[in-house]
Amino acid sequence: FGGSVGNKIAVANVVGKTYEEAFTTLTGQDLLVARKLEVSSTVPAGVVISTDPPAGQEVGVKTTISVVVSTGQELALMPNLAGLTEQDAILAITNAKLVLGTITQSDSPTIEKNLVISSEPAANQQITAGTVVNLVLSTGSVLVPNIVNLEISDARSQLTSPAVGYIVETQVDPTCTGVAGTAVIAQSIPAGIQPQKQTIVLTLECLVN
């Protein structure tokens, strides 16, 4: 507790105490207290960062002491960046008081090329300001499997799966005079990395009557 010299009161040192403790101490010295809030990444929420006038300074009775109290780290709402362009995503990250981290690319059957597929942290959660946000952008491509020699049902399920998302059509070789079998003998789009949202034509084997 600050001592009293005549009508002067030495402001007590309440830095590091909780606001409640500081309030009790200072009002006990016959001083008035005004609470001010300040974001701090080092001082826990509810703890006194500083006072104005500072500790030890002599003031008169009923002087108002500004007590600066930490609100803890500032919170930010993680924006939903999915589907945005890289530029728009970076702008949204900056506006939310967040920091851009890494930008990587990944295949996607649905998200257009160079648009955001996902972010880390995920959207719509409260995070501390200054958190690093990593982005994943779409290549606009998918990995097409080799489905030659597969049964049409297996081939269709692989190609229409969420990872590929192709539309599947079938045909039989025009020279076929018999009936179509169920095995795939050719695919119109070769296996490997290919553009998303395609229609792939599968040629079925010809069974001779």
The answer to whether the bond into 53 is cis (omega within 30° of 0) is yes
pLDDT tens digits for range 93-152 = 999 989 999 999 999 999 999 999 999 999 998 888 889 999 999 999 999 999 999 999
Given a cut of 90, is residue 7 above it in pLDDT? no
**Over the stretch 39-82, which tens digit does the pLDDT of each residue have?**
888 898 899 999 999 999 999 999 999 999 998 888 888 999 99
Query: Is 81 within 8 Å of 93 (Cβ atoms)?
Result: yes
What spatial distance separates the first Cα and last Cα of the chain, rounded to whole Å? 105
**Greater model confidence, 129 or 89:** 89
